[in-house]
Structure formats: C-alpha cells, structure tokens
Amino acid sequence: MTPKAGTLYGIGVGPGDPDLITLKALRVLERVPHIFASCSTKNNYSLALNIVRSHLNGAGLEHLPFPMTRDAQVLEEAWDRNARRVLEVLATGSDAAFVTLGDPLTYSTYGYLLKTLKRLQPEVRVITIPGITSYNAAAALTHIPLTEGEESFYLVSGAMGAARLREVIDTADNIVMLKTYRHFDDIYQALEELNLLDRATCISLCGLKGETVVEDLRHLKGKRLPYLSMIIIKKKGRGY
C-alpha cells in the first residue's frame, strides 16, 4: 500500500535572532523528521539552518543547492531538480520543512520552489508559516516607523542598483531597499542626487553578530557593505 504523502512546511525563521522564530514554526521544527534549506552551489552554508539548529530534535538536514546566476534555464533546472527531491521525501509519507531567512514569500527561494512543486504535483500539500522579515526587525531596532497615517511604503530590491529607487521615488513616502551590498555606490549616488542622504538609514546584519546601524551614509561612501544590508528611506525625515 502506497503511504499517504507527507506535508511540506515552508518556514520563515526570521532575520537572524533565534528568539524571533514564531511559536508555530518552532512546534513544526521540533517534530518534522526532515528539514531542507537552500545553499549556494559553491558551498553548503545555510544561515537559516544555523538559526534553527538549536531548536531541532534529531531531524535529518539536507541542503538544496541553487546557483547564484541570472540564467533562467540554469535556475529552472535547479528549481526542478530540488522540487523533485522534496517530492521524493514527501512520497515516503514523511513530513518535511523548508527553512528560509525572514519570511518565506518575501524575496525568498522558497517562492520559486513552491511554484515548481505545484507545477510538478498540483495536489502536493504545503503549509507556509510566515516569518519576521529583516526590514521589520530593522524598523524595530532603529525605531523608524515604516508607515504612518496615509503614507505609502515600497519594498524594492537593490540587486540591480538604484534603478528601482529612481522608479518609485516620486510616488513613495517610505522605501526599504534590500540587497544593497553589491551596488551600494550606485545607490549612494542616487540618494545624493535626490537629496535623501539625511533621510536614509543603513542597517547591516540585523539580529546577527556584527549588527550595525549607520544614520549618516556619508560614512559609508566608497565602502563595501556586508551581504545582509538594507536601507530605510523616509522622505519626510526619520521622525525622531
């Protein structure tokens, strides 16, 4: 008799501080026998796994390698291969979890994995457990309100530089830029041109060792930011 397929839990483990994992996520992590986490094809390091490691109860750990590339075909092949591996485990009747930094449906590899799973096997049972995002944690750390009253709030990626910032700046009151480390020089130049340097705060490694908050971005000009860095921009000022 074929066993009933297991359930995949997509779990956001928060921005870095193990205490910011939700109780719901913790209960799942303590009982599932198999836990997946994404990693680069160049190594098997997973910050998400490091965050939850102390909460695990003998679960098997498995890295799913994803290449750091913009080649659509290479990425699709990786999503397909990893989704099939997840389905293979679920087919044994075992539940499993996929852990990811922050929230699983906010700039996360999990979103692509989920779509691929549903394409390959539409009836697969998946439960997604939200997590605290890095920008929520950064707002709490700096006491910067992300939105107030009728203000708008835009979340944009800096992975391609300042292009998205320039696109939304006229319509947004508050902006959070993630993935700012690689093209910080371009982002800095845009902030300077838009006269927003005094309205921007840079937070790096939020909730992790080496956490820093820089309120005057002029101190960062020409410097290389840590990988996990973001900028909160308040067009009306920080408010404190």
Q: 7-129 belongs to which CATH class?
A: alpha beta
Residue spans per domain, the chain? 7-129, 134-234
pLDDT of res. 50: 84
231 neighbors 178 (Cβ within 8 angstroms): no
Whole-angstrom CA distances from 102 to 22, 72, 75, 128, 173 are: 11, 24, 22, 13, 24
pLDDT of res. 71: 79
Q: Tell me which residue of 35, 85, 90 sits closest to 57, measured CA to CA.
A: 35
Domain 7-129 and domain 134-234, same fold? Reply is no
pLDDT < 50 stretches in the chain: none
- Contacts of residue 2, Cβ cutoff 8 Å, sequence gap at least 6: none
pLDDT of res. 102: 94
pLDDT of res. 68: 77
Please tell me the CATH superfamily of domain 134-234, with its number: Tetrapyrrole methylase, C-terminal domain (3.30.950.10)
pLDDT of res. 41: 67
Paired with 157 in beta bridges are 178
- In three-state form (DSSP H/G/I as H, E/B as E, the rest C), the secondary structure along the chain is CCCCCCEEEEEECECCCHHHCCHHHHHHHCCCCEEEEEEECCCCCCHHHHHHHHHCCCCEEEEEEECCCCCHHHHHHHHHHHHHHHHHHHCCCCCEEEEECECCCCCCHHHHHHHHHHHHCCCCEEEEECCCCHHHHHHHHHCCCCCCCCCCEEEEECCCCCHHHHHHCCCCCEEEEECCCCCHHHHHHHHHHCCCHHHEEEEECCCCCCCEEECCHHHHCCCCCCCCEEEEEECCCCCC
Question: Computed over its alpha carbons, how large is the radius of gyration of the chain?
Answer: 19
Share of the chain above pLDDT 70, in %: 97
